[in-house]
Structure 1
Amino acid sequence: MKYSITEIADILHIKEDRLNDQEAVVSQLLTDSRSLNYPKETLFFALKTKNNDGHNYIAQLYKQGVRNFVVDHVDEVTRGMRDANFLVVDNPLEALQQVAMSHRRKFNIPVIGITGSRGKTTVKEWLNQLLKDDYKIVRSPRSYNSQIGVPLSLWDIDDNTQLAIIEAGISTTGEMGNLQAMIRPTIGIITNIGSEHNDGFASMQEKASEKCKILTSCECIVYCADDPLVTSTIKPLLDVDVAQEIAWSRTDATRQLYVKSVAKTDKQSTLTYVYGGKQCQLTAPFTSDRDLENVVTCLAVMLHLGIDPAVIAQRMKRLTPVGTRINVMEGVNNCTIIADGYTSDYNSLTPALDFMFRRSSKQHDNAVILSDLKPDVYSDEELYIRVSELLWAKNIKHFYGIGADMCRYGKYFKGMECQFFKSTQEFVDKMSQGDFENETVLVKGAPEFDFDQIIDLLEAKQHQTVEEIDLNALAHNFKFFRSLIKPTTKAVAMVKADGYGTGSYEMAKTLQDCGCDYLAVAAQDEGVDLRNAGITMPIIVLNPSVVNYKSLFQYHLEPEVYSIIEARELIKEGAKYGAKNFPVHIKLDTGMHRLGFIKEQLPELIELLHSQDVIKPASMFSHLCVADEPAQDAYTHMQLDYFEQCTQVLQAAFNHHITRHILNTTGIVRFPEYQYDMVRIGIGLYGIKTCYDGSEDALKPVASLHSIIISLKDWPAGTTIGYGRHGVLTRPSRIATVTIGYADGYDRHFGNGHAQIWVNGTLCPTVGNVCMDAVMVDVTEAQCQVGDRVEIFGEHIPIERLSEARDTIPYEILTSISPRVKRVYYRE
């Protein structure tokens, strides 16, 4: 959909005579400079957030060809851009929403608005699968359900659209009203109200009331009548606004949609339901209660839209799971593999490419392996022309198209090196690992193409023990700690020890995207690796045993200075490489008694710093050693007082402001009044609590460790298991062998029943000694088979339980996971 810039100006009540180019055309709305695709027709909204300001990226976008901007002010730089349009408004976010609202009002089509605590994305994608034969559908990309995501989703509606499916997500009160006004849903869906994302609400009732605002003025609402909170909250709306409700129930036969029975087998469920006095059946390839709730919600919508029950039953059989994850893993030959299991269509391609580019580095080319796409609002030919233009705009170097349509329309893919294959098998037969080197490779295919074969070909590590790292959880935890400090306080994220064993590069990329101010590593080599991987944000080296000063200065790694000897050496080496006022961080020993200056040494340090211009103090900091022990708070306060004295002495000796920071993860929670200019977030980033008084309950675990069962055997009582015959069975038992051992970081102390493994819903004790590459587990009480995945720690077994068994701290468990264990990073 295209608008003239004068039409946009009219929507925002801006006079045309303030435009420099009234002939400009807008087809793309942009809020993130990294997602730029078509500069000439882009309108950039310079949004301000707590940690960033879109106005800072205007000059960069102008150089890239963007000429249309929505801003809240102009300055000398922007005034010099005389061929660009600057639409000045009070609030660019409100302007974005105003444009989306006006655009939505142009279309008299059914619009489904979906909200709830979980299941929104699944219901949206399943409705698309179920209704695509009846409508040309526009839907929210991935989880574009926020105050920014919703207007961007609505912008995709055009004259070809016959149905829109839009997610609406909120995090606090006062947000749903804006979303409802933009979406104006004709059909409103509440999937459920759960405990997820409770932080912004005083109570569950407050959350329910806010979410239900999306239902205002809907022609029909769909919800589960078995949820008393949802039912009671919706009731007032039924008397005034809603023409029809479809409240479904498994217990109340009087409801509009009554699920009479559910019969489950291993892989599918058959639902018998009553609607409009008629009893019908459908079978869906799912068995979990959550999935079946989503199935019934989709059923209700289809019935409302008049789809015949027989057609519904036929389509439900073909439903496929929604792979909401994007996985990132190490590839062969210094490649990074990004596997996107989400839907295979044009709608989901742009977010996948954006994710890929945020993880690219200057040392890597970019490649895409893509299957035939599912048709949507475009004709086949137009669809592949658009895909080729998008890939060209993203500067993809290598493109591999797989499928009959890709081969048919391959002539449209220009400006990159392209190869086309009729099937995945042909790709695997013709391509080898040697064809991929120093590349970031996006692998995105429809389920029927079985792209797992391609991932198996390109993945560097095939170990069946896998550490999974949830990048969404990392971002959530960072935002949690940011919420505890002032907007002006900077945050340092600790990614030392290879990101506490989780991988520093992916952690750093995610934190950089979140607006983190600094990274901190323990060793210089860690910092060099991050720079080579494309990390540009400031990096502090906390324990700089430097042997290569050239790299320190070349990669602009900011060292801590903890002694006069070290300071002199740094000055001498810096002078060799032409360093001037190079930022360093002065470490003070306030009570840890490990490294750092004490107060009596400060005059000598000040004299040395004033005698040269090679290095310049950027910050002064110290470590709290017992912040997590309330019984020793007197010592902590002594450290804080001593830090104040030392920093006053240092600051008084210099004209420039020197940043101060002393709070660690625990300190942020327990001593926020001492946040000074900056704080350091460590183990809390990874979802591990340091306080157990409820203050950190909002943290989410970032890492989980899984392996698989490779053998099952039944043994009589008295049988001994493992080395040394220490595992003696006291009953007839089924013993599983799991492929994780002490070479993977699973400590030998976890053997002989000292730890448990989660097997299909059952906690099962270890038996016998832990081996180098395997551990035996008593699975007598569990339902399992060879090949089943088991949890070592994660959702069901907190890592703290393992550290308690080992009589250590969670840090040690996390950092002990062996490099040979495969790491998979994912985002939902």
Structure 2
Amino acid sequence: MTTEKLYSYYLKSRLISTDTRNISNGCIFFALKGDNFNANEFANQALEKGASFVVIDEAEFALNEYCLLVDDVLSTLQDLARYHRKQLNIPVIGLTGSNGKTTSKELVNAVLAERYKTFATFGNLNNHIGVPLSILSINDNVEIAVIEMGANHQKEIELLCTIAQPTHGIITNVGMAHLDGFGGFEGVKKGKAELYAYIKETQGYAFINRDNPNLMEMSQTAGLNKLIFYGTENGNTIKGTLKSSDPFIEVDWTNHDVSSSVKTNLTGSYNFENILAAICIGDFFDLNPEEINGGLSNYQPKNNRSQLSKTEKNTVICDFYNANPSSMTAALNNISVLTADKKTAILGDMFELGPESATQHQLIAKQANESGLNDLIFIGKHFYAFKDQFKGIFFETPAEASLYLQENGIEDNLVLLKGSRGMKLESLLQFL
């Protein structure tokens, strides 16, 4: 089965599935394998549900001519995406970073959509499976695509670049995330810089936050020469000032001596640089200030990222989609300066920190204790190890915290709810 032949099948429906629970009539089902599953076993079920073809890599499951046998299903999916990408003569913005990837992607898409037919990565489909699926979701009507790329080890961004083939690139920042896989902070910088290396090799454009010394160093090391800068100083294509962030962000910004101002629905001063990035990219693609501001002001945060929610009892900063030391520090800095009579932080463990885990949890617990908040609740075994060292209420599991919140309700507070995805802190929201 050649890629070209498989592509001819794909063009008949342009529908791909990797889950038999989501089979669309006429789709091609890719039987991927994982640590705990082998989708080759469900190939016949996919056909029965309406798939036109199934791509498999184990001959015993090739029951008929609609079962397409390949050497490796995942590689075939990635190759098909590469082939499709080469047929698309459009700008593709590759976006990565330790924090703010998804919010930045959504903001860039919201701005560009004011003028163009855009495609943006759905949710966080940003890995070695998600990026191919995203590329294969781009149809002929799309004029600009924004592809989010995530990574937790070296060479992953390099691989994703060969699939997405970005013409433009942006790294939101580099921080203390996935330290275990990257081998420390310098490893994070090296891994994220793989996007810059690809952009350099293909003579693409890079958008750089000039205020960030790590990004400046990485861009210089990569030898990038097509740079568009944004930041808070003169000399940038986009110069911005954080006007207010209590609780929503307002930004004054200037481009080409034209001044403008925008109020957003985002909370958290750490989103200021994400907003500037979206302004810079919108300006590069010739949007006027009214279009840029329209996209930003109409964007509503979701997916529990910097999302301000009013409950019957409290105002909750829902920021529990994920967490690492860098984003946790930023979130604590943010709530400490917001105006509220009473403030509470509920913090869950941070994952994938490797040997740095104990030190980083200790530092965050220390920062939380010094943030001037009224109450602190820590959840997870990593924070629990410091229960005798810091003030606050410590629980080993979210279930224990739920029981406490049911019996000791929090009311009339500004509450920060933040932790890694695996902590499932959304289970606590009903008690706040």
Asked if Structure 1 and Structure 2 have the same fold, meaning a TM-score greater than 0.5 normalized by the shorter chain, the answer is: yes
Contact 1:463 1:821 in 2 (8 A): no
* Deviations 1:784-828, CA, capped at 9 Å, x for gaps: xxxxxx654459x9555667779998479658537668984399x
Match of 1:290 among 246, 251, 270: 270
For structure 1, the residue ranges without an aligned partner over 5 or more in a row are 1-8, 17-21, 327-340, 343-446, 457-461, 474-685, 702-755, 765-789
Partner of 2:70: 89
Aligned residues: 375
User: Aligned partners of 2:73, 2:212: CA distance in 1, in Å?
Assistant: 39
User: Aligned partners of 2:209, 2:277: CA distance in 1, in Å?
Assistant: 8
| Cα distance change of structure 1 residues 809 and 274 upon mapping to structure 2, 3 Å threshold | closer
| Cα distance change of structure 1 residues 307 and 92 upon mapping to structure 2, 3 Å threshold | same
| Cα distance change of structure 1 residues 218 and 197 upon mapping to structure 2, 3 Å threshold | farther
Match of 1:325 among 296, 304, 310: 304
Partner of 2:20: 33
User: 1:13 deviation in Å?
Assistant: 6.7
User: Aligned partners of 2:135, 2:428: CA distance in 1, in Å?
Assistant: 27
Contact 1:205 1:229 in 2 (8 A): no
Match of 2:150 among 169, 172, 192: 169
User: Aligned partners of 1:695, 1:227: CA distance in 2, in Å?
Assistant: 23
Q: Which amino acid aligns with 2:22?
A: S
Match of 1:56 among 41, 48, 63: 41
| Cα distance change of structure 1 residues 806 and 791 upon mapping to structure 2, 3 Å threshold | closer
SS of alignment partner, residue 188 of structure 1: strand
Partner of 1:213: 194
User: 1:284 deviation in Å?
Assistant: 2.6
Contact 2:376 2:393 in 1 (8 A): no
| Cα distance change of structure 1 residues 799 and 101 upon mapping to structure 2, 3 Å threshold | same
Partner of 2:171: 190
User: Aligned partners of 2:357, 2:245: CA distance in 1, in Å?
Assistant: 41
Kindly report which structure 2 residues correspond to 1:143-292, keeping only aligned pairs within 5 A, or say none.
143-215=124-196, 216=199, 217=202, 219-239=204-224, 242=225, 244-251=226-233, 253-259=234-240, 261-264=241-244, 266-267=246-247, 270-276=250-256, 278-285=257-264, 286=266, 288-292=268-272
Q: Percent identity at matched positions? A: 23
SS of alignment partner, residue 192 of structure 2: helix
Contact 2:395 2:401 in 1 (8 A): no
Q: Which amino acid aligns with 1:249?
A: G
Q: Which amino acid aligns with 2:284?
A: H
User: Aligned partners of 2:376, 2:37: CA distance in 1, in Å?
Assistant: 39
SS of alignment partner, residue 51 of structure 2: coil
Kindly report which structure 2 residues correspond to 1:72-83, keeping only aligned pairs within 5 A, or say none.
72-75=57-60, 78-79=61-62, 81-82=63-64
Q: Does 1:825 align with 2:412?
A: no
SS of alignment partner, residue 161 of structure 1: coil
User: 1:61 deviation in Å?
Assistant: 2.4
Partner of 2:373: 763
Kindly report which structure 2 residues correspond to 1:640-655, keeping only aligned pairs within 5 A, or say none.
none
Structure with the larger RCO, 1 or 2 (CA within 8 Å, 6+ apart): 2
User: Aligned partners of 1:223, 1:24: CA distance in 2, in Å?
Assistant: 37
Contact 1:469 1:826 in 2 (8 A): no
Contact 1:100 1:152 in 2 (8 A): yes
SS of alignment partner, residue 41 of structure 1: coil
Q: Which amino acid aligns with 1:246?
A: I
SS of alignment partner, residue 44 of structure 1: strand
RMSD after superposition? 4.3
User: Aligned partners of 2:405, 2:87: CA distance in 1, in Å?
Assistant: 57
User: Aligned partners of 1:687, 1:306: CA distance in 2, in Å?
Assistant: 43
Partner of 2:104: 123
Q: Which amino acid aligns with 1:282?
A: S
User: Aligned partners of 2:292, 2:357: CA distance in 1, in Å?
Assistant: 46
Partner of 1:350: none
User: Aligned partners of 1:50, 1:14: CA distance in 2, in Å?
Assistant: 26
TM-score by length of 2: 0.72
* Structure holding more helix per residue: 2
Kindly report which structure 2 residues correspond to 1:717-756, keeping only aligned pairs within 5 A, or say none.
none
Partner of 1:11: 3
User: Aligned partners of 1:50, 1:178: CA distance in 2, in Å?
Assistant: 21
| Cα distance change of structure 1 residues 218 and 209 upon mapping to structure 2, 3 Å threshold | farther
SS of alignment partner, residue 179 of structure 2: coil
Q: Which amino acid aligns with 2:183?
A: A
Partner of 1:514: none
For structure 2, the residue ranges without an aligned partner over 5 or more in a row are 324-347, 410-424
Contact 1:799 1:810 in 2 (8 A): yes
